Amino acid sequence: MKIEAYDDAWLEEIVALSLRAWAPVFASIERAMDADVYLAMHPDWRVTQRASVEAACREPGMHVRVAIEASRVAGFVALRRHAEDGIGEIYMIAVDPDFQRRGIARALTDHALDWFKKEGLTVAMVETGGDPGHAPARATYESAGFRALPVAKYFKKL
């Protein structure tokens, strides 16, 4: 597996793998939330996630890298600098389900940490869900040395 700079030719492959990777995550979120709230927030999560991935890949200040395995895009990571605060953010990361459990998410996370250091940033952050669907993400971040800050978010359908 190698990590390469993003190329626009990979956009559709990245979007497709992201939607496959996040399908079980959104199913988990749906189970964890009130049904009316979930539908209000995610009427069609695939449409909004597609737009989010496309925007991240095209954002001028975003550092996007792609994991290539067996001549396929196996995953990607989008990184953002918050230079004023000295913080590097793992903004978005996904690994194709066909390539999960092979250390690709950890390799992309390690790439992120190395890039943040090279950029002179002093803190790395990533946000993820506390539901069961996000458990693999939490395990990856914790294995890379991240520590969670407990946060409580509450939602109510109006």
How confident is the model over 116-139, as pLDDT tens digits? 999 999 999 999 999 899 999 999
Is residue 87 domain-resident? yes
Phi, psi of 67 (to 5 degrees): -90, 125
| Cα→Cα distances 118→39, 70, 114, 158, Å | 41, 28, 6, 46
Q: Which two tokens stand for residue 17?
A: 């793998």
pLDDT at 156 over 90: no
How confident is the model over 39-55, as pLDDT tens digits? 999 999 999 999 999 99
Domain that holds residue 52: 2-143
Burial class (CB in 10 A: 0-12, 13-18, 19+), 57: buried
- Type of residue numbered 119: E
pLDDT value, residue 107: 97
Is residue 98 domain-resident? yes
Domain count within the chain: 1
pLDDT value, residue 17: 97
Is residue 155 domain-resident? no
CATH number of the domain enclosing 117:
3.40.630.30
Residue located via tokens 């993003």: 6
Is residue 68 domain-resident? yes
On whether the CB atoms of residues 64 and 77 are closer than 8 A, the answer is yes
Mean pLDDT, rounded, for 44-69: 96
Percent of the chain, pLDDT > 90?
91
- Type of residue numbered 76: F
- Type of residue numbered 9: A
pLDDT band (50, 70, 90) for residue 58: very high
